[in-house]
Amino acid sequence: LCSLFAKENLHHMSEHQLNLYDRLINEPRNDWDIYYWATEAKPTPVEFESEVMAKLREFAKNKKKEQRLRQPDLEYLFEHP
């Protein structure tokens, strides 16, 4: 979920948002916690509630019904937006 979110959103984020995202993916002890928060299976702790977490929750809803069966290839990291 996070890798697909990153591919779609990182190049649009401000430095502040990137710092929030970095904290979100690196500080929790368990990646499953991020998944549960993003899918609203568990409430997001106050310290991780942010505009980026809100975007991740919205992304997790998959309103466009996209197939998200695998992580994206990493070539996008070297492309200019």
Which domains does the chain show, CATH number per domain? 1-77 (1.10.150)
Backbone phi, then psi, for 41, in 5-degree steps?
Answer: -75, -30
Is the CB of residue 24 less than 8 Å from the CB of residue 52? yes
Instruction: Read off the amino acid at residue 60.
Output: A
pTM above 0.85, yes or no: no
Q: What is the pLDDT of residues 8-53, one digit of tens each?
A: 999 999 999 999 999 999 999 999 999 999 999 999 999 999 999 9
Q: What is the pLDDT of residue 81?
A: 61
CA-based nearest residue to 48, from 62, 33, 58, 59: 33
